[in-house]
């Protein structure tokens, strides 16, 4: 792999959620292991990695049955995640950071390590961005439904900072439309992770369209 596609010792933030490229992620941070990490990322203008938890919780908890070596419960997470770039940062009170991030490139972990204070770092390979694929006629309704939702929010004069989707709205792009529906729909985290990992944006949109039909959302 070209050097430009790899990152070493990327700090990770395991969450009970999935971040999609182009998606918005607000976070309130109070754990010591993340306060220092996020502060350094913000100061350096560097990204961190968001990965979906498969075992454990977002906040460290004591081990229930036998220590894992540090006395805390076991944590496990997916090998594919998304780089997060901090776009808003504030410290409303000591010991609390409030940030807003935007999802960038997906990545795959090649090596992971848990540091002494509980922070995970990893060597990762960045995955290719979705290629632009025009919405096919049979899936146009899925894009139109998202367009109607955006228009409805705009008509209600929802401030841009509170919109759940970032402009520009790429309603002609399979990957962008699929990702935004994945964020908006109430799906299990495991399903969102599988959809995020798909390399084919058209297939991702087809699966999302099926979910929309099954949930009774009119297209």
pLDDT tens track for 152-193: 998 988 887 788 899 899 999 999 999 999 999 999 999 999
* The two structure tokens encoding residue 72: 């805390």
Please list the residue range(s) of the chain that carry CATH number 2.30.130.40: 3-126
Residue 24: name the closest of 91, 84, 80, 92 by CA.
84
96 with 30: CB under 8 angstroms? yes
Alpha carbon 122 to its chain centroid, in Å, reads 17
Is the predicted pLDDT of residue 218 greater than 70, yes or no? no
Q: What is the CA radius of gyration of the chain?
A: 18
Of the candidate CATH numbers 1.10.10.10, 1.10.4060.10, 3.30.2320.80, 1.10.10.60, the domain formed by 137-214 belongs to 1.10.4060.10
- 44: Cβ contacts below 8 Å, ≥ 6 apart: none
Residue 50 pairs with which residues in a beta bridge?
A: 13, 82
Is the predicted pLDDT of residue 83 greater than 50, yes or no? yes
Of the given ranges (30-34, 77-81, 122-126, 162-166), which has the lowest mean pLDDT?
162-166
Please list the residue range(s) of the chain that carry CATH number 1.10.4060.10: 137-214
Other Cβ atoms within 10 Å of 42 Cβ, number: 15
Burial environment of residue 130 by CB neighbours within 10 A (0 to 12, 13 to 18, 19 or more): buried
Other Cβ atoms within 10 Å of 183 Cβ, number: 21
Rounded Cα distance, 198 and 214, in Å = 21
**What pLDDT, on the 0 to 100 scale, is given for residue 2?**
42
Of the candidate CATH numbers 3.40.50.1370, 2.30.130.40, 3.40.50.300, 3.40.50.150, the domain formed by 3-126 belongs to 2.30.130.40
């Amino acid at each position: 792999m070209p050097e430009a596609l790899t990152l070493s010792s990327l700090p990770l933030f395991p969450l009970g959620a999935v971040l999609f490229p182009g998606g918005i992620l607000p976070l309130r941070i109070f754990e010591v292991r993340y306060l220092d990490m996020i502060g350094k990322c913000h100061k350096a203008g560097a990204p961190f990695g968001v990965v979906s938890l498969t075992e454990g919780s977002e906040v460290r908890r004591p081990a229930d049955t036998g220590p894992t070596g540090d006395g805390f419960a076991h944590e496990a997470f997916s090998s594919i995640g998304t780089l997060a770039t901090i776009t808003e940062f504030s410290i409303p009170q000591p010991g609390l950071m409030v940030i807003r991030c935007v999802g960038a490139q997906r990545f795959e972990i090649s090596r992971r390590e848990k540091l002494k204070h509980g922070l995970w770092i990893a060597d990762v390979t960045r995955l290719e961005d979705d290629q632009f694929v025009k919405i096919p006629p049979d899936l146009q309704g899925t894009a139109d439904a998202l367009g109607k939702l955006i228009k409805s929010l705009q008509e209600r004069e929802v401030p841009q900072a509170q919109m759940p989707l970032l402009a520009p709205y790429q309603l002609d792009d399979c990957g962008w439309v699929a990702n935004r529906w994945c964020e908006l729909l109430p799906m299990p985290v495991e399903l969102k992770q599988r959809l995020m990992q798909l390399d084919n944006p058209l297939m991702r949109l087809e699966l999302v369209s099926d979910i929309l039909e099954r949930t009774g959302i009119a297209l």
